[in-house]
Amino acid sequence: MRILYTADLQGNPSFYKKLFTLAVRKKAGVAIVGGNPLLI
């Protein structure tokens, strides 16, 4: 299983979109975000 990890996206929605686009492209089974949570 591929695991994609990143941190400190600073709550920026475009960074989250890029992360999940990359996760799909790389066929990651899990995307882990460390650091700051996305607050909506």
Instruction: Tell me if 30 is assigned to some domain.
Output: yes
pTM of the model: 0.74
Between these two residues, 40 and 19, which has the higher pLDDT value?
Answer: 19
Return the half-sphere exposure (C-beta side, CA atoms, 13 A cut-off) of residue 20: 5
Instruction: Tell me if 24 is assigned to some domain.
Output: yes
Instruction: Tell me if 13 is assigned to some domain.
Output: yes
| pLDDT computed for residue 22 by the predictor | 97
Mean pLDDT value across the chain: 88
Instruction: Tell me if 40 is assigned to some domain.
Output: no
Q: Which structural domain, as residue segments, surrounds residue 29?
A: 3-34
Between these two residues, 35 and 22, which has the higher pLDDT value?
Answer: 22
Instruction: Tell me if 8 is assigned to some domain.
Output: yes
| pLDDT computed for residue 39 by the predictor | 63
Question: Number of structural domains, the chain?
Answer: 1
Instruction: Tell me if 18 is assigned to some domain.
Output: yes
Mean per-residue pLDDT, 5-18 = 89
